[in-house]
Structure 1
Amino acid sequence: MITLTSAEENYLKAIYHLSDGGKKGVSTNDVSAEMKTKPASVSDMLRKLGEKEVIEYRKYYGLHITEEGKKMALQTIRKHRIWEVFLVQKLKFSWDEVHEVADALSHVKSKSLIQRLDEYLGYPKFDPHGDPIPDEFGDVRVRPRLPLNEIELGSTGQIVAVKDSSPAFLRYLDKVGAYIGARIKVIDKTEFDGSVEILVDNKKSIFMSKDVAGNILVMV
């Protein structure tokens, strides 16, 4: 049985995300930038992960996560997102506060703990940021969604997730009143700079830059 340290789990999770779920290769520089770590330290960690056969290196194609690596990454992601739901729903953390706490809790090895927590929460399908929660078998429920800046003028939809989950961005969304689950309508789009104006819940009008709108995901 493969056992990973907390640091190794974090690296594996990062590689999984960078590789788009194992669909493409990842460079050492990509991992270094994602983990905010010097390339020398990254190379040492990648060597360890390679020895445990959760990643492999292919010349000209970069790093690839193995099938076993995918399973382990998805279980870490599952635990992280379930803990985020618990922290927001039961302990009343705000959605911009939970990442670091959930990250620490996601490395707890008890399988029965996460199973009971999942049951206690009513088997949630999505975390507070709208990201899908893998089930115990690693299956992920995917729903169609588009960046808000790509929604056509006059179209309606529902905010279901955010691409940027940094605390600063989430606090900004709280400030302007754009939240997961909000019903929106695109009422204006500016060709010059790509900014948009949306109507939230048929009540409040919000102007957004192209960058902000591009980080909000909508199901139409």
Structure 2
Amino acid sequence: MRAGEVSEVSQDYLKAIWSAQEWGGTPMTATELANRFGTTKANVTEVLKRLDELGLIVRVPYRPPVLTSKGETIALSMVRRHRLLETFLVESLGYGWDEVHDEAEILEHAASDRLVDRIDAFLGRPQADPHGDPIPGPDGQIESHESSLLLAEADPGSYTVIRVSDADPSVLAHLAEVGVRPGATVEVRDAGSASSDAGTGRVGVAIGGEPSEIDRAIASAVYLSVA
């Protein structure tokens, strides 16, 4: 079964279920899916039932849905479309990296596999999108970054930025201003104090030799390589 053989809603759900765990996150519950898509838990349950009937997920009462191999194939196809479209919009059409997520969310449903493959070739087969998320190959193979570390949790030392979450465009805009992008070297000078209230405080860093401070909540969007 290919991505084009299921509804756009099904495509979105499969991609969301897969993406939630890509960078070490927890599986998405029905309640979290409802919040993600701005709908009711009852509607989510109906969608999940259809996906289960199609053999794309496995539903277990009171537990998060699990993708089957067929469901994962479609999810990765949608992730590939999304990330290649984001890359094309930035590199070829001059979009900012904080502008492309919503555009790609729309375009990914209309793009054929043939068009996506042409974009991939045109761009020189990029390995990652503008935010550092790896782009699956046509065969669904994708690079893993299980050993990544959040800037908000990093000890003092020198690190390379490998990914910035695109969940919040305002965070992307702020990080671009201070030079935090994939490939940048960040020296953590003051990790700050770990508060019981996660997300408080600031992280002292140097980027390109320039000292700066980043709110811990914003630093939670930055993923670093671990030596």
Q: 1:199 aligns with which of 206, 209, 218?
A: 206
The aligned counterpart of 1:32 is: 34
For 1:189, the equivalent position in structure 2 comes to 191
What do you get for the CA RMSD once the two structures are aligned? Answer: 2.2
TM-score norm. by structure 2 comes to 0.86
Say if 2:159 is the partner of 1:141: no
Alignment of 1:54-203 (within 5 A): 54-108=56-110, 110-143=112-145, 144-153=147-156, 155-191=157-193, 194-202=201-209
How many residues are aligned here? 217
Deviation at 1:149, TM superposition (A): 2.4
CA pair 126-94 structure 1, distance change in 2 beyond 3 A? same
Distance 2:133 2:194 in 1: 32
Match of 2:6 among 1, 4, 7: 4
Secondary structure in 2 matching 1:186? strand
Tell me if structure 2 keeps the 8 A contact 1:75–1:138: yes
Give the deviation of 1:47 after TM superposition: 2.2
Q: Which residue number in structure 2 is paired with residue 213 of structure 1?
A: 219
Shift of 1:179: 2.3
Q: In percent, how many aligned pairs have the same letter? A: 31
1:174 shift after superposition: 2.3
| SS across alignment from 2:126 | coil
1:97 CA displacement:
0.6
- Cα distance in 1, alignment partners of residues 167 and 121 from structure 2: 26
What are the Cα deviations for residues 58-104 of structure 1, in whole angstroms up to 9, with x where unaligned? 23534221110000000000010000000000101001110111111
Q: Which runs of 5+ in 1 are unaligned?
A: none
Deviations 1:4-42 (A, max 9, x none): 111210111112223559x97643212112222111221
Deviations along 1:94-135, one digit per CA (max 9) or x if unpaired, are 011101111112113522211111111011111111111111
